[in-house]
Each structure stands twice: as structure tokens, then as C-alpha cells.
Amino acid sequence: MPSSLVDTDTASTMPLGDNAVANADGQQASNAEVEREPQTQYAYDRDYRFWSIIFALCTMMILCSLENTVVVTSLPTIVKELGLGSSYIWVTNIFFLATSVVQPLTGQLAGLFGRRYVALSVVALYTLGSGLAGGANGPAMLIAGRAVQGAGSGGMTAIMGIVISDLVPLRMRSSYQAILAMTYAIGMAIGPIVGGAIVQNTTWRWVFYINLPIGGVSLCLLWLFLRVKWDKETKTRDKFKRIDVAGNSLLVASTVSVLIALTWAGAEYPWSSFRIIVPLTIGLIGFVGFFFLEGSAWVPEPVMPLRLFANRTSAVVYANTFIVSMLNYWIFFFLPLYFQAVQLSTPTRSGVQILPMTLIAVPGAAVGAVALSKWGRYKLLHIIGFAFLTAGIGSFSVLTKDSGTAEWVCLQILPSVGAGMILDTLLPAFQAGVEEADSAAAAASWSFVRSFGNIWGVAIPGAILNIYSSQYAADIITDPTAKLSLQNGDAYSSATREFILSFPEPAREQIIEVFTRSLSKVFLVGIAFPALAFILSFMEREVKLRTELETEFGLEDK
């Protein structure tokens, strides 16, 4: 791999993959040549097989998006019925943890064993996890099911980006990612409504069981249509030897350590506690060690090679992917709390009330995809998108119990359009600075940081909600029970219409006021992150997006 990390952003007129790259001033800097298998020029042929694969990927996207949001409106009820208390966050964070850590490994496995069998395996894993979670008779089984489900979801997320990279030239990839994004939007739109309706009309277990028939359909479609080339000659034993066991192990351990700290912080222990500081510090040091390991000679085939980050644009896109992923879950998990705990909406109605976030994101994604395909420029899209997100998330802080429909609908426009413009243009921008041979590794690594951002997007606002709810609960002077409920780290599980209506006036009004003020702080603190991403976007450089495609994993010969 390269002996030094240099800026390759200005290499828009140079063929990537040569033994030289351009530095920040446009000068060429010599690097050690990276030995790779020669890539095959692949015809961008959109026949019936191509569209069948795209359709199969859409079924995977439905699974990912539906489960990501169907739990949003039903989670408070699940937490209450299984008695999870402050441990509720494990239901979401163990999912995000498993989703994150498997993605780089999925990229390696897909390169060694082919895209088809890896795709079938991760969908089967997701379906199994859904069955386990639906059949849970206690917190431990629910969390275990969510871990298995998350591993499947992470694998699906990675493999979808990898397959698109195999079949579509870089310049046009955003258009097909927009198709997947629209499918994702459908799942995001119906997920909260389905989750709320299930909780109100039947058992919460169907929140998970609903994935079983969809998973079956997805498996059938993938088996029939996802037939792409792969290495059938190398022995399986030799392939297993090439897996970066040390890198993957250190990545998993570091992520788990960080997750433990984020899960306990604020809910179980204060942020200043050694029980938070120690695992958080160990995890962050572990990430530093991981990147040193990946750049060392000890790992011949790293799961996340440092050459992926050998230019400024890739590093900025990596950071901004983390931020936008965090903000998506920041909004999707805590805006429904406003509707349920402040406006006293039912779970089903709160799902309907966040529909503008998902539906308005579709035209935003379309604008981003069309603009990127037509002009091949992403920097301005990112600047505008993060400006919209900054203004949008901050505007949620003004919502109160008296806010009308027009107000909360209009306030969802800016952040949804901004996120839509950004999400489908980040991966092509990240892949622009790497060689075509590294597209799969780049897609898997990018998927990892996107999922890792989701963990922080639930943990950080959850901690903020608990901190301020505990502080403002001191103003509840008429009902000690209500006061105690909001001061023991249970603010999230208490943010339901049912809980609030169980108290008489004036305690009910005081509880609503606590949630109004706490959620306002949640969204005000959120402004800092898109503002940082907005500034970082100016540091990106426009890299020419390739219009030719070279791959070893194209469609099988007819």
C-alpha cells in the first residue's frame, strides 16, 4: 500500500491506479505500486438481468428501511411490556452495533466468496433475527434477536452498495442509489405507521414477524437473479486465510467498548463516571490502533486499507457521512417523542406526523442524483444540503404543544430535502478518489461509518433528553411519582401518551412542559453537528467521476 498518505483530489484528469497520484498542489508524488489483479472492462448493459438485480436489491432495501423505522413508534410500548427500563437503548444500539461491525467484513467476504452467496446469507441472518426478536420472552432474548437482525441488516447495506458498484459506472451510480433511496423512503414512510398500528391493534411481536414473509421474497429473488461473476478457482481454505481477522476483531472490540459507554452514559452513570470514561477511552484508543494496524505490514490484505483515505475529499466525506447518519436517527427517533409526549398523539398518529420527513426527502434525493449524473459535481450539493439540515434541526426546538399542523409540517421540509440531497451523493464522492478495484472496499467502509453514526444518533440525544428531563422534573411539585419517573433515566420510555394521561392535572401539564423543554434542548444541541459538516464541505475538491466501469464481478455470461 502507499508509504504515505497524500492528497489525490486534484487527480481528476489522471487515470487512477497508476504509480503516481497528485498532491494538494497538483504535483505528482511517487508511491509504492499496489499489486492487484487486473480489472476487466465491463459493458454497462442494462438488460432484463440488470433490472432484475436492481429489483432484488430493492426488496433488501425494504427490509432495512422498514425495520429501521417500524420500531420508532412501537419502542416505548415494547420497553414497557418487557420491563426494559433504562436498558431500552440496547434494543436500538445493539442493532446499530451489529450493523456497523459486520460491514467491512462483508466487503471482504463478498470479494472472496462472491456477491450472491454473501447476499443470501445476510438476508437469511436478518430473517432469523427477526424471528428471535418477535418471539422474545424477556429483555435478553429481545436484545440477542436484535443483534442477529442488525448483523443481517449491516450485511445487506454493504452488499447493496457493492453490487451497484459492480454494475454501474461511478458517474451514474447516484441515479441507481436514488432508486434504492426511494424504496428506502417507502419503508421509512410506512414503517412508523405500521409500527404504531401494530402496537395499537395487536401484539408488538408483529413489529418483527412482519419481516419473515418479506425476507422470504427477498431470498427467492436474490437466488433467481443475483448471478454475477466471482472467483471459483481459489480453494476455500486459502480464501479464509486472506480474511483480516486481527483488523476485524479490533474493530469489533473498539466499537463494543464505545457502545457500552454511550449506552450507560446519562442513564446508568453520569458522564464523569469512570465506568463511562474508561470504556469510551479504551474504545477510541482501539480505533486509533485499528488504523495503525491496517497501515502496517502485519496485515497483507486489510479490511479497511488506508489508501481509501489518502485524499482530503475522502476524509471529509467520511466525516460528513458520520454526521448525516447521526442526524437522521437523531430526528427519526426523537421527533416522534415530541408528537407522543407533547402533543399526546397515539403511536400510529405520530407515525403519520413524521411522514413529511420521508416523503419530502424523495424529491431531494432525485435532485441530488440527477444533478450528480448530469454535471458530475457534488461539492455544492453537500454545502446546500448541510445548510438546510442545520437550519432544519434547529427549527424543531420551537415546537410546543400549541404548534399547529402547518407549523410542524413546514419545519420538516428543510432537513428532509437537505438529507435527501446529501445521502445519495456521498458514496460516489468517496469512491471518486480511489481506484475502481477498491470500489467494493470503499462501499463497505463507507457503510460502516454510516451505521456507526446511527449509534451516536440515538445515544447522544438520548443522554441529552435524560439529563434535561431529570433537571426539569424538579418543577413537578404536585406528583412525586411522576417526578421520580423522569429523574431515573427513564425519560424515553415515559414519553408516551398513555404514561402522561395516567396522571391528573396539574401534574399532566407539568410533565408535558418537562418534555417540551427537554426535547427543545435535544434539537438545539443537534445544530452543532450539521454546522460542522457544512464547514467541512468547503474543504472538498471536485474529482472527476469515471464513466467507464472495470470489474471482476460483472454479470455472468449469457
Q: What is the mean pLDDT of residues 417-423?
A: 85
Nearest one of 70, 121, 59 to 95, comparing CA atoms: 70
Phi, psi of 258 (to 5 degrees): -65, -40
Q: Assess contact for 159 and 115: CB atoms under 8 A.
A: yes
Q: Assess contact for 534 and 387: CB atoms under 8 A.
A: yes
Q: What is the mean pLDDT of residues 31-54?
A: 58
d(CA 122, CA 112): 15
Query: Could you give the maximum distance between any two Cα atoms of the chain, in Å?
Result: 75
Question: Which of 5-19, 28-42, 179-193, 375-389 has the highest mean predicted lDDT (pLDDT)?
Answer: 375-389
Report the pLDDT value the prediction gives residue 9, as an integer from 0 to 100.
41
d(CA 338, CA 334): 7
Q: Which of 34-48, 396-410, 519-533 has the lowest mean pLDDT?
A: 34-48
Report the pLDDT value the prediction gives residue 163, as an integer from 0 to 100.
86
Report the pLDDT value the prediction gives residue 551, as an integer from 0 to 100.
61
d(CA 214, CA 183): 14
d(CA 18, CA 11): 11
DSSP assignment of 164-196, as one string?
A: HHHHS-HHHHHHHHHHHHHHHHHHHHHHHHHHH
Q: pTM higher than 0.95 for the full model? A: no
Q: Is 530 helix (H, G, I), strand (E, B) or coil?
A: helix
**Secondary structure letter of residue 433 according to DSSP:** T
Kindly indicate the confidence band of residue 34, based on its pLDDT and cuts at 50, 70 and 90.
Answer: very low
Return the higher-pLDDT residue of 128 and 96. Answer: 128
The model's pLDDT over 163-210, given as tens digits with 9 standing for 90+, comes to 887 788 777 777 777 778 778 777 766 776 777 677 677 777 888 888
Here the cell at position 254 is 473498539
Q: Is 29 helix (H, G, I), strand (E, B) or coil?
A: strand
Report the pLDDT value the prediction gives residue 324, as an integer from 0 to 100.
92
Q: What is the mean pLDDT of residues 420-449?
A: 80
CA dihedral 336, 337, 342, 343 (to 10 degrees): 20
CA dihedral 190, 191, 194, 195 (to 10 degrees): -160
182 Rama sector, left if φ>0, alpha if ψ -120 to 50, beta otherwise:
alpha
Return the higher-pLDDT residue of 339 and 16. Answer: 339
How confident is the prediction for the chain on average, in pLDDT? 80
| pLDDT over threshold 50, residue 328 | yes
Here the cell at position 101 is 461491525
Cis peptide before 270 (omega within 30 of 0): no
Q: Which of 126-130, 396-400, 490-494 has the lowest mean pLDDT?
A: 490-494
Report the pLDDT value the prediction gives residue 129, as an integer from 0 to 100.
93
Nearest one of 126, 121, 119 to 146, comparing CA atoms: 126
Report the pLDDT value the prediction gives residue 549, as an integer from 0 to 100.
61
Q: What is the mean pLDDT of residues 431-446?
A: 77
Question: CB-side exposure of 384: number of CA atoms within 13 Å?
Answer: 14
The model's pLDDT over 204-263, given as tens digits with 9 standing for 90+, comes to 788 888 889 888 988 998 888 888 776 677 787 888 888 888 888 998 899 889 888 877
3-state SS string for 393-411:
HHHHHHCCCCCCHHHHHHC
Residues 6+ apart with CB under 8 A from 140: none
| pLDDT over threshold 70, residue 447 | yes
Q: Which of 357-366, 397-406, 411-420, 444-453 has the lowest mean pLDDT?
A: 357-366
Report the pLDDT value the prediction gives residue 39, as an integer from 0 to 100.
46
CA dihedral 448, 356, 508, 526 (to 10 degrees): 40
* The one-letter amino acid at 165: S
**Intra-chain end-to-end CA distance of the chain, in Å:** 36
Report the pLDDT value the prediction gives residue 555, as an integer from 0 to 100.
58
Helix then strand then coil, in percent of the chain rounded to 5, is 75, 0, 25
Domains of the chain, with CATH numbers?
A: 49-230+301-473+519-537 (1.20.1250.20)
| pLDDT over threshold 80, residue 106 | yes
Q: Assess contact for 119 and 222: CB atoms under 8 A.
A: yes
Report the pLDDT value the prediction gives residue 477, as an integer from 0 to 100.
79
